[in-house]
Amino acid sequence: MEFNWFDHLVAIILLIVLPFMSIRSEAVNVDTLDHLPPKKHFFYTNGLMLIICALLVLTSWNISDRSWIKLGIQWPYLDGNLLLLILLVAAIYLSDLIHYQFNKSYKANKIKELSNIIPMTWAEYQHYIFLAVAAGISEEIIFRGFLINYMLTLLTEASYASILSVVIPAIVFSLSHLYQGWWAVLKIMLIAALFGWIFLQTGSLLIIVIVHILIDLISGLTGVLSDREDTNCVE
């Protein structure tokens, strides 16, 4: 598979610019957060940016007359290994969710850190759904469908090309979530690597898009439910 100059530009942005920007923005000024516009603007703006990036990748893919199947636009090949990988993703996510729910101090600190960018009410959650769906679809097209294919082509002659093609995008993807803290980066890196392996095994983005959306939707409930618990305690 051959890639054009636009593909190389997208890859440079994903592999170099995005991690650099995320690392630089790790330390967020609380005073700045207090002056951010309503969260629904954040949800829609970020969702639209992801959709635009995914559309650029799809446009380049179409202009280059590449196979959509190669990008993962097909029904997945299902077998026992796929089920095992999905269960492993669920286990990693659920173990972190359980730790989050039962460690009250950790939960309180994390919600305080992220309260300006996660939904805290049902009204905000309704707007957040757009971002969750947009991220689930767009990020898988970009980081799994495009970037794994790009790395496989780039590393054709390298040893362990398949492993590197999964691990490198997983690292880049997890670093883009650095604002959530290093523990979240590690968790997301593991899940992203499993997503990448599922993509290689099935040749499809469908399963991981669905799982990704579900994870984001469930994660978005943490602030809403926490705020409701606090309200009940006050009452």
Question: What does the pLDDT read at residue 34?
Answer: 54
For residue 65, pLDDT over 50 is answered with yes
- For the chain, the straight-line distance linking the first and the last C-alpha, in angstroms and rounded, comes to 62
What is the average pLDDT across 113-131? 89
Distance CA 101, CA 42 (A): 26
Could you give the count of Cα atoms lying within 13 Å of 159 in the half-sphere of its Cβ? 0
For residue 24, pLDDT over 70 is answered with no
For residue 105, pLDDT over 80 is answered with no
Confirm if 14 and 143 have CB atoms less than 8 A apart: yes
pLDDT digits (tens, 9 = 90+) for 39-59: 889 899 999 999 999 999 999
Report pTM.
0.85
Residue 197 burial by Cβ neighbours in a 10 Å radius (0-12, 13-18, 19+): buried
pLDDT digits (tens, 9 = 90+) for 70-89: 999 998 877 777 777 888 88
Determine the length of the chain. 235
- Measured on CA atoms in the order 129, 169, 172, 95, is the torsion positive or negative? positive
Query: Binning pLDDT at 50, 70 and 90, where does residue 153 land?
Result: very high
Distance CA 186, CA 206 (A): 24
Three-class secondary structure of residue 166 per DSSP: helix
- Higher-pLDDT residue of 17 and 43 is 43
